[in-house]
Structure 1
Amino acid sequence: MEQDNYNLQRFIEAQDLIYPIVLKELQEGRKRGHWMWYIFPQLKQLGYSFNSKFYGISGIEEATAYLGNPVLAQRLREVSETILHLSTNDAVEVFGGIDSRKLCSCMTLFDIVSPDEVFARIIDKYFNGQQDKCTIKIINHLST
């Protein structure tokens, strides 16, 4: 078994029971549950709550490892493709105000790690092509 240096298992454990519900909510075009932290993770430096810190991604290396995990990569791409194909282009309508910003942060992070994927298309559709400035600033700071 591969070593899990980032405890990515925390995401799998959190997702396992709720993932079908998440997918159904997204297919219906409206997030209702409290699962944003571990379905669309963002940098831990962007959050203040326990869940934001616990499920936050530490940087590019952990985000790369996240996409290197077959279960997590498949699920992130599936939920991303699901929202990409909704008829709306209003992230606030689907996620609400706060979680729509978290979505932009998540998509920015994974677009940096893996360009030319669904993540960039979501940024284009829901955020007028504008990546999250705070995520970029933190990544740049971590890289120096």
Structure 2
Amino acid sequence: MNDMFDLTRFVTAQRPVFSRVMQELKAGRKNSHWMWFVFPQLRGLGHSEMAERFALSGTAEAQAYLQHSVLGPRLEECVNTLLGHSGLSALQILGSPDDMKLRSCLTLFLAAHPRSGVYQQALDQFYSGAADGRTLALLQGGSA
């Protein structure tokens, strides 16, 4: 598979921790450090080394991520697992600032695949349907 976006960086990062990621998401409480490469966000939002390494360049890279045979299904599985916690907020599940990173991630992937209901459903459940304004501004060519 042609990997013009180097999506293997995500597969490599997820490989040793994905079972733990799923355990934490199913339990409704994130305890370890994996947010950057499980729920990636748009470049320009985070400024740490990890945030920059795992940032996506735009909707084209997000679409490639969704079409990837491993990454796309994993992201959907993670979001669907979060949706199973209707009584908890994103802040309660992920902590801060990872609750904001999730909103950014959902906004990006909804823009990349508007017909996928799972990202809008998660925005509805955790953020009253409101997309991340900084992500939208960057996608429209503005600044965060």
- TM-score with structure 1 length normalisation? 0.95
CA distance in 2, matches of 1:70, 1:114: 16
- 1:44, distance to aligned residue in structure 2 (A): 1.7
What does residue 138 of structure 1 align with?
Answer: 138
- 1:21, distance to aligned residue in structure 2 (A): 0.2
What does residue 127 of structure 1 align with?
Answer: 127
The correspondence of residues 57-136 of structure 1 with structure 2, limited to 5 A, is 57-115=56-114, 116-136=116-136
CA distance in 2, matches of 1:38, 1:58: 14
- Structure 1 stretches (4+) deviating beyond 3 angstroms? none
One-letter amino acid matched to 1:22: V
Q: What secondary structure sits across from 1:44 in the alignment?
A: coil
One-letter amino acid matched to 1:39: V
Q: CA offsets per residue over residues 22-79 of structure 1, 9 Å max, x none?
A: 0000000000010000000001210100000000001111111101101000100000
CA distance in 2, matches of 1:6, 1:37: 16
Q: What secondary structure sits across from 1:75 in the alignment?
A: helix
One-letter amino acid matched to 1:102: K
One-letter amino acid matched to 2:132: D
CA distance in 2, matches of 1:7, 1:121: 29
For structure 2, the residue ranges without an aligned partner over 5 or more in a row are none
Q: Which moved more, 1:58-67 or 1:82-91?
A: 82-91
> Higher helix fraction: Structure 1 or Structure 2?
1
CA distance in 1, matches of 2:87, 2:55: 28
What does residue 42 of structure 1 align with?
Answer: 41
CA distance in 2, matches of 1:39, 1:96: 15
- 1:17, distance to aligned residue in structure 2 (A): 1.0
CA distance in 1, matches of 2:18, 2:110: 22
What does residue 20 of structure 1 align with?
Answer: 19
- TM-score with structure 2 length normalisation? 0.95
Q: CA RMSD in A?
A: 1.0
Identity rate of aligned residues, in percent? 38
CA distance in 1, matches of 2:56, 2:111: 13
